[in-house]
Amino acid sequence: MGKRVGVLMGGWGEEREISLKTGEAVVAALESKGHTVSRIFAGPGLDRALRSAELDVAFLALHGRMGEDGKVQGLLELMGLPYTGSGVLASALAMNKPMAKKLFRLHNLPTPQGYRVGRADSSRALELHGDLGFPCVVKPACGGSSVGLSVVREPEALVPAVVQACRFGGEALVERLARGREVTVGILGEEVLGTCEIATPREGFDYDAKYKGGSRYFLPARLSPTRLTNVESLALAAWRALGCRGYGRVDLICSDEDNDVILEVNTLPGLTPVSLLPKIAAQKGLDFPALVECLLTLATRDEVDVAEAPIVVPTVPHRAAS
Ligand SMILES: Nc1ncnc2c1ncn2[C@@H]1O[C@H](COP(=O)(O)OP(=O)(O)O)[C@@H](O)[C@H]1O
Ligand SMILES: [Mg+2]
């Protein structure tokens, strides 16, 4: 039966444009499946827009800060509305790359060595850099789509790169540059859906390569069956370490000489027909509308429900006036 679905799109962050593309693609797919769809443009007054739309479920077509980072998920939890993708905590952890890195380490999962620098400390970046070496990668701690990311090859370029990355949220992550194949693992429900290798003409998968073409895709990634199995289980372990659910994508660098390393977990990856997760789904025989329908059926809320487990506020006895 058709549902009343609100597609949340737009938003506040740097990835607004991509979010609008994801949103429109999702709206068309949901309508083709017989749902009644409202476009909900995320911004100030989102709570009122959600309330007046009278929805059964929210489909999150948001990317990046203030959308993928748990804040909108928190609002939906409070409103009692199921939504697609991960819950509040997992979304927040995955969006914050230094935090996610800590958890990967805690679970003994390989990730490039790195450190976090706040805006206030950006002039001390060289001091903090220690023996990390060059080249290194500098990126916003809470960013996406490679916005604000740079590869730094010599010490003099470090501070400017940190300042640039800090423009997007006030914190940067500096990481050792990992060399190898760029692989992303699609996850659907609790399982690996498939892998995609991205080969770019330039080093690093930058914003232009991501969104303006020029990259080549290999599905599955060009790895031996054994390595593919390892990479898939690594991705699933990273996904579980952060407590994600619904669907997502894990980005890794797979090296022939070194360890495979986890770069990040994307809890709301792009969903246009040319985005990576839909490419992986198509290769597995799941066309775009079928994928979107599947994501909708996985929509849920955090398990602990305030209505089911009310918080009992103890009454404090009044002190007798003396
Ligand atoms: N430590 C690293 N070593 C090598 N390449 C990296 C590293 N960090 C990022 N990159 C490159 O930059 C791209 C974007 O980085 P990522 O951490 O996935 O952030 P986001 O996709 O959120 O911008 C990656 O797909 C990869 O090509
Ligand atoms: Mg990425």
- The residues spanned by each domain of the chain are 4-84, 113-176, 181-297
Atom of ligand 1 nearest to the CA of 178: 3
293 HSE (CA, 13 A, CB side): 13
Q: Is the CB–ligand 1 distance for residue 205 below 6 Å?
A: yes
Positions marked catalytic:
15, 145, 211, 249, 251, 264, 266, 270
Q: Is the CB–ligand 1 distance for residue 112 below 6 Å?
A: yes
Is CATH 3.40.50.20 the right assignment for the domain spanning 4-84? yes
Atom of ligand 1 nearest to the CA of 145: 23
CA of 266 to the centre of ligand 2 (A): 7
Instruction: Specify the CATH number of the domain 181-297.
Output: 3.30.470.20
Q: What is the pTM of this model?
A: 0.92
Q: Tell which CATH classification among 3.40.50.970, 3.40.50.2000, 3.30.70.20, 3.30.1490.20 matches the domain 113-176.
A: 3.30.1490.20
Q: Indicate if 181-297 has the same CATH topology as 4-84.
A: no
User: Ligand 1: which of 104, 152, 205 to mutate, judged by most atoms within 8 Å of the beta carbon?
Assistant: 205
**Ligand number nearest to the C-alpha of 255:** 1
Q: Is the CB–ligand 1 distance for residue 175 below 6 Å?
A: yes
Atom of ligand 1 nearest to the CA of 210: 25
Per-residue pLDDT of the chain (322 residues; tens, 9 = 90+): 899 999 999 987 778 889 999 999 999 999 999 999 999 999 989 999 999 999 999 999 999 888 899 999 999 999 999 999 999 999 999 999 999 999 999 999 999 999 999 999 999 999 999 999 999 999 999 987 788 999 999 999 999 999 999 999 999 999 999 999 999 999 999 999 999 999 987 665 555 555 566 889 999 999 999 999 999 999 999 999 999 999 999 999 999 887 899 999 999 999 998 899 999 999 999 999 999 999 999 999 987 655 666 666 666 666 655 4
Atom of ligand 1 nearest to the CA of 205: 27
Q: Using an 8 Å Cβ cutoff, are 232 and 195 in contact?
A: yes
Q: Using an 8 Å Cβ cutoff, are 110 and 261 in contact?
A: yes
CA of 241 to the centre of ligand 1 (A): 19
Which residue has the CA at smallest separation from atom 22 of ligand 1?
Answer: 144
Sign for the pseudo-dihedral over CA of 5, 10, 96, 114:
positive
**Ligand number nearest to the C-alpha of 183:** 1
SS3 of the chain: helix, strand, coil, percent, to 5: 35, 25, 40
Q: Is the CB–ligand 1 distance for residue 143 below 6 Å?
A: yes
